[in-house]
């Protein structure tokens, strides 16, 4: 019963998304949308049914996302300068890998959500993306085009 409810939720949401994109109620388009949504909902439910991972993020984490637009704009300017140096001045530019202290937490849903949001938020900023998290050694490996020498992973999202 619960799986059916999940499948239906996915299907309805995907049909709505399809309709928003195609903007027509022509029969062939609607039929194609119903079928495509059914296939996608089945795939989504098959993955969810395996119970691979659960996410329970805290609402206050999303409140802190107000810093992200500023970080993105700042990093876009950094990339602009890099492009200038590379194209106009013909300077060789090479990014670098940096290992940062990061407390990854355990296997609980809250820790999994925290890791996922850290990876997504850091990788959203143009100058930095996350390559991986070493949970055995409490290390996050990032790649930066212009290294900024952060002391830990948190500093990337909340610069001093």
Partner 1 sequence: MRTIAVAVLLMLGVGVELLACLGVMVMTSAYDRLHFTAPATTIGPLAIAAAVIIEESLSTAGVKAILIAGLLLVVNPVLTHATARAGGIRTHGDFMTLEDKEARP
By CB under 8 A, name the binding residues for partner 1: 17, 20-21, 23, 72-73, 75-76, 79-80, 82-83, 86-87, 92-95, 97, 99, 119-127, 129-132, 134, 141, 143, 145
Nearest-approach distance from CB 138 to partner 1, in angstroms: 13
Nearest-approach distance from CB 1 to partner 1, in angstroms: 30
Nearest-approach distance from CB 20 to partner 1, in angstroms: 6
Instruction: Using the minimum distance from each CB to partner 1, give the nearer residue, 17 or 39.
Output: 17
Nearest-approach distance from CB 76 to partner 1, in angstroms: 5
Instruction: Using the minimum distance from each CB to partner 1, give the nearer residue, 109 or 132.
Output: 132
Backbone angles phi, psi at 99, to 5 degrees: -95, 125
Instruction: Using the minimum distance from each CB to partner 1, give the nearer residue, 3 or 74.
Output: 74
Instruction: Using the minimum distance from each CB to partner 1, give the nearer residue, 132 or 159.
Output: 132
What six digits make up the tokens of 126? 């143009």
């Amino acid at each position: 019963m619960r799986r059916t409810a999940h499948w239906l939720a996915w299907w309805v949401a995907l049909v709505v998304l399809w309709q928003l994109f195609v903007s027509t109620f022509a029969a062939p388009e609607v039929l194609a949308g119903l079928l495509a949504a059914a296939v996608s909902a089945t795939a989504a439910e098959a993955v969810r049914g395996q119970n691979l991972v659960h996410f329970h993020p805290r609402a206050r984490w999303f409140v802190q996302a107000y810093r992200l637009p500023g970080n993105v704009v700042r990093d876009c300017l950094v990339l602009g300068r890099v492009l200038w140096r590379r194209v106009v001045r013909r300077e060789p530019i090479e990014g670098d890998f940096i290992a940062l202290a990061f407390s990854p937490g355990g296997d609980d849903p809250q820790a999994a959500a925290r890791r996922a949001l850290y990876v997504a938020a850091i990788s959203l900023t143009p100058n930095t993306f996350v390559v991986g998290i070493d949970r055995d050694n409490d290390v996050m490996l990032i790649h930066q085009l212009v290294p900024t020498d952060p002391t830990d992973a948190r500093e990337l999202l909340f610069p001093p």
